[in-house]
Each structure stands twice: as C-alpha cells, then as structure tokens.
Amino acid sequence: MVKLQASLRKEFLLLLRDLPGLAILFIMPVLLILVVTLAQENALRMQGASTPILVVDPAPSVFSTRLSRNLDSSGIFRTVHLLKGVPLTMQTANRELAAGNFTFGVVVHSPDSAITILIDPTLQPSYRESITNTLTFIIKGTQSRYAIEELLTCNAGPMKPVIGAMISKTLKNLPPVNEFFPAKDRSGIKPDPIQNNVPGFILFAMFFIVIPLSGSIISEKNEGGYQRLRTLPVSVLMILSGKILLYLLVCMLQFLLMLLVGCQVFPVFFDLPGLQIGHAWLALSLATLTASLAAIGFGTLVGALSSTHNQAALFGSVMVVLLGIVSGTFFPIHIMPPFIQQISICSPMRWGIDNYLEIFIREGTILHIIPRCILLISFFGFAITTSIAIFANKP
C-alpha cells in the first residue's frame, strides 16, 4: 500500500506540473462540445425557419394562387412576390439569385405548362437537393389536386358545389401524422443534439488522456526514472498502478464536467434543453468505469510503444481524432459509408459511446450494456498486458 501511495503521489505531481496537458484534458473537450452543439442547434433552427422563395407569376390564376398558399402553409417556405413594391419578373429573379440575395425561386408560367425552379448555383449539393425535392413535392401535389378537382367539377354539372364542399371537408379531416421515438420501458426522453453529443465527447475527452499519460511513461523511460524504480523492489504492474488510479480519477472528473455542461450550462446560458441522464445510476457508473479503463489502456499502450514525446503526441492525438470520427463523436454513424460503419464496430470509443446512448436515450439497464462493458475491460486487459510485456523486455 505504501508503494502504491508513493506511485500515486508521484503521478499526481507530474500531472499537476503539466498545465498544457491539464488544459487538453478539461478545457478542450468543453470548448469542442459547446462549439459543435451550438453549431448543430443553429443549423436545426435555420432548417426550421422559413426559406424565402421568389415567385414569378406573370399571369396569376387559381392554380398559382393555390401553389403560393401551399408553399406558405408548409412552414418551410415563405413566398416573395414583390421587391420594392414591384412584381417579380424572370430577369429580376435571375439577377437576385445570381447576386446571392435569395437561394430559390419558382416561375409559374401557366397551370398546364412546365414550372421552373430557380436555384442559387453556389449551394451545397445536399442542401440544394433537399430543398428542391421538397419544392417538387409541393408543386406536384398542388398540380395533382388541381387536376383532380378540375376533372370532377367539370363533369359535375349542378352537383359542382356539393362535390367541392365534400372535397374540402375530406381534406380538412385527414388524420394527423405524429412522431414517435421507440424506446425501452416507454421512455419519455427524446433524442436531440445534446443527448447525442455528450456521450461522444465524454469518450473523446477520456481518450485524450493519451497525451499526458504516454508523455509520463516516455519521460520515465528516457530520463532514467523507470530504470531507477526497477532497482527497487517494485514491479512493473505497481509502477503502472499509480498511473491507472490517477487517470481513472481524471476520467471521472471529465465525466462529471461533461455532465455539468450538458445538464446545467446549456439550459442556463444558452436556453437549450438539458441533458437527461435517466435513472440507471449503476449502469451509468459501470459504463463510465469501463470506458475510463479502456482509455487508460490505450494511453498506456501508446506510451509503451513510442520512443519520443513527438511520436506519442502525434500518433495518439491523430488516433483519438480518427476514432472519434468513425465512432460517431462528430458525425452520426448512420450517414457514414458502410465500410466505415463496419470499422467502427471494432473501436473501443464506439463501445463506450453506445453504452451512454443506451442509457441516456433508450433508458437501458445494466443488462443492456454488459456485452460492451466486457469488450472494454478486455481491451484494457490486452493493452496493460502488452505494455507490461514491452516493459519487461526493456533493459
């Protein structure tokens, strides 16, 4: 116990003197989650806001009036018919879009001829296709309804008012379309950027201990500290145990800090919904412990394999970023190519993130996370065993 206390004290002093390392461990993850989450929330709000659409309608008709009304009532678009009090023309609309003042326009030639959608050429393809598909859907729906009503009312004769009233009543009484998020135990938690981002950045922060942890190991190897310790009756496992316990405490503090950001900082300072962590405290504790051990194992292995600080810092930071990308920290897994999704299955960071998502969003219990916890502990055991073997073969 005295040896372990001495090893732990030594590691604590080394970490306390490494201010850049402390900044990486605690400040960088907070800044990243704030920037990424606020950017995503802003993008969602922009999507929810009405997109102004220039409408060129040189010969207003029943169809063009109905199309404008449908665009406005969609909640996605806001039609613009006048600029400075002057009706829009094709030339004016083209000039406005070419100048970047608007992004989309619709030219209604007549009900029975083609309709032209004007598009800003500088838009990103994904956004352009999304808006264009929505516009096309609304236009085709309006054309279909207009054609059916014309067909019915033209052949209705004296029954035309009755048929028109029946059509309007039927359309008004269509059943609503609702959203539902399937979850275990009838969970009331709804997924949002905060619920999805916090788990990813918890693991991202934990795995970034690779830089100070590997740096501590390399310093001992290169500066003779490890050789001096081996002259004492101290095993390699005892030397590593001090590092494991200290960085386990660091990972727990990182976890609490990220929870504080999700539960308090976002709702209080940015008026965003707070993180809902559910009630599975035992499962949450186990998920955090196993993820922390996996991160410590990764840092220890990098330190054992590297010869210099530059090697460890470069390789470790690049690997953490790559693991974060393929594991869903920055982008959702489902939008990635299939081969990257397959690669991510082998990532310990992905196992930890999935455990938190299981608890935070699906309200899973300890039984639901046990398989991934076993994988995380196995990775830790493999990393520590390999590191000890490397140390044992060093002179």
pLDDT in tens, 199-242: 999 999 999 999 888 888 888 777 666 666 556 666 666 778 88
Task: Give the pLDDT of residue 228.
Answer: 63
Q: Start-end ranges of CATH 3.40.190 in the chain?
A: 50-168
For the ranges 63-77, 101-115, 252-266, 347-361, the lowest mean pLDDT is seen at: 101-115
DSSP string for 249-303? HHHHHHHHHHHHIIIIIHHHHH--PPPP--S-HHHHHHHHHHHHHHHHHHHHHHH
Task: Give the pLDDT of residue 178.
Answer: 54
Q: What is the pTM of this model?
A: 0.72
pLDDT in tens, 306-353: 888 888 889 998 999 999 988 888 877 777 788 888 888 999 999 999
**Please, which contacts does 365-370 make with residues 24 or more away whose CB atoms are closer than 8 Å?**
365/280, 365/283, 366/280, 366/282, 366/283, 366/286, 368/184, 368/283, 369/283, 369/286, 369/287
pLDDT higher than 90, residue 298: yes
pLDDT in tens, 21-50: 788 789 988 998 998 888 877 766 665 457
Task: Give the pLDDT of residue 206.
Answer: 94
- The domain made up of 50-168 has a fold known as D-Maltodextrin-Binding Protein; domain 2 (3.40.190)
Task: Give the pLDDT of residue 174.
Answer: 55
Mean pLDDT in the chain? Answer: 82
